[in-house]
Amino acid sequence: MRSRVILLSGSFTEIREMGLLKRDLGLVAVTDLASMRVDKTLRDAVEEAIEGGATMVVLNEPTLSHEALKKEAVRLKILCGMHDIPFIMMKHVDIADAVDADGIVVSFREFDPVEIRTIIGSDRSIGVLVSTPEEARKAMEGGAWFLMCGPVSAGHDGEHTDCITIEEVEGVCAAVDIPVIAYGGLADADINYLRGTGISGIGAAAGIFGQTDIVSAAASLRRISREIL
């Protein structure tokens, strides 16, 4: 089974001060309509992921129109509120503000902290997509609350030439003292390669939403997160 994995690293003290709690970091579910093998709405699929143990939800659907994306954001914000877990919007700062999302993720090139804070205020998370320690440091100094870096390869199959290695993820983590999210198409077995790297959680897209039994897939990843952290 292949999965898109997200890993969080960082000090729980800083995370808590920024409005994120340790419990939020166990299993992050990143929506992935393109990989879904079951006939159900995105909201229902996300609810199953939460039932299986997801502790945070990130809406990332680049193929949806702006209006359709906003409708999904409204549904998922309400759903996450019902379960008392954070709802994070990937890009689309205007939608994040409109639906009162708990946070936003933008690319390093799009990271304009003054403009973003003007739109969403000072009490929501900002994540930045980075690929190098230098970008990571600049994003942190600019006010990012967490980072995403990748795609990540376990470094033993040589399949993906555009991936960064576990060692490179460690370099990004070492360069900052905020949580780092590593993402990529890692198989479940690859997660053990990340043991001891300082990660604080696991997240998945296809690893959850690309499975026929979403509840069981999420529960399995939640169990793995407990084993390696």
Give the pairing of strands 5-9 and 180-184: antiparallel
Q: What is the pTM of this model?
A: 0.89
Residue 151's Cβ-count burial label (10 Å; 0-12, 13-18, 19+) is middle
Chain segment 18-36, per-residue pLDDT in tens:
667 666 778 889 999 999 9
More confident of the two residues 187 and 153: 153
Average pLDDT, the chain: 85
More confident of the two residues 38 and 87: 87
CATH topology of domain 5-228: TIM Barrel (3.20.20)
What mean pLDDT do residues 85-93 have? 95
Q: Provide the sign of the torsion angle of the four alpha carbons 16, 18, 21, 25, taken in this order.
A: negative
Tell me how far the alpha carbon of residue 34 is from its chain's centroid: 17
**86 preceded by a cis bond (ω within 30 of 0):** no
